[in-house]
């Protein structure tokens, strides 16, 4: 990466780190503490919902920062994506994984909001919950599953990010560009070039 990409890489990495770390801490720490301290389902849900509500704006900002950095890095590395073998495939995988993580995060927030309203003591929240009744047991089961899906997906993004870093090494770039160029040349043309090279070699 060039020095001019340091800002974009920082946005990309810091946003992803907060997204992954926050989701993992929430699943292990916040939800675990809520279960230990809540006693009843309603109290447990209220504690967890209050914590996630505090984190949601920070998480949204982290995701936005990550996406800005990722988009910028994609533009900076467009030439490598097009010409270095392997970079295009890892970029597509990273894009799909990012989309899945975004969808999982949004779905988890929808489920969490439903549980938040259903467990609230506020008359206004109770009225909203009555307008959109939900099976709290089913919503809780789905949310419990989703709490591990998000760190798994964002952890996968961190792994792909490490792969991208390896692909940026000079020797990897040279090998990847050569393999991409060789794969685009018809086999018969490669054989002809090899034959010409052999015929043109001076005798010993």
pLDDT of residue 174: 55
Asked if residues 121 and 86 have their Cβ atoms less than 8 Å apart, the reply is: no
pLDDT of residue 1: 41
pLDDT of residue 204: 46
Mean pLDDT by 10 residues, the chain (204 residues): 74 97 96 90 91 95 97 89 82 95 96 88 74 80 93 96 77 54 54 49 48
pLDDT of residue 168: 74
Note the pLDDT tens digit of each residue in 28-76.
Answer: 999 999 999 988 988 999 999 999 999 999 999 999 999 999 999 999 8
pTM of the shown model = 0.77
């Amino acid at each position: 990466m060039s020095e001019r990409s340091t800002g974009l890489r920082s946005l990309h990495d810091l946003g992803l780190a907060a997204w992954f770390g926050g989701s993992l801490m929430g699943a292990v720490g916040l939800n675990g503490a809520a279960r230990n301290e809540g006693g009843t389902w309603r109290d447990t849900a209220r504690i967890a919902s209050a914590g996630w509500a505090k984190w949601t704006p920070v998480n949204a900002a982290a995701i936005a920062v990550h996406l800005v950095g990722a988009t910028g890095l994609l533009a900076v590395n467009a030439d490598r994506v097009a010409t270095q073998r392997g970079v295009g495939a890892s970029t597509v995988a990273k894009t799909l994984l990012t989309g899945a993580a975004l969808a999982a995060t949004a779905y988890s927030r929808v489920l969490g909001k439903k549980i938040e309203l259903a467990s609230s003591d506020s008359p206004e929240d109770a009225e909203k919950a009555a307008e959109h009744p939900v099976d709290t047991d089913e919503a809780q089961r789905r949310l419990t599953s989703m709490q591990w899906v998000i760190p798994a997906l964002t952890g996968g993004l961190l792994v792909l990010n490490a792969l991208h870093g390896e692909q940026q090494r000079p020797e990897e770039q040279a090998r990847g560009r050569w393999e991409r160029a060789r794969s685009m040349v018809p086999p018969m043309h490669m054989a002809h070039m090899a034959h010409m090279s052999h015929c043109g070699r001076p005798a010993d």
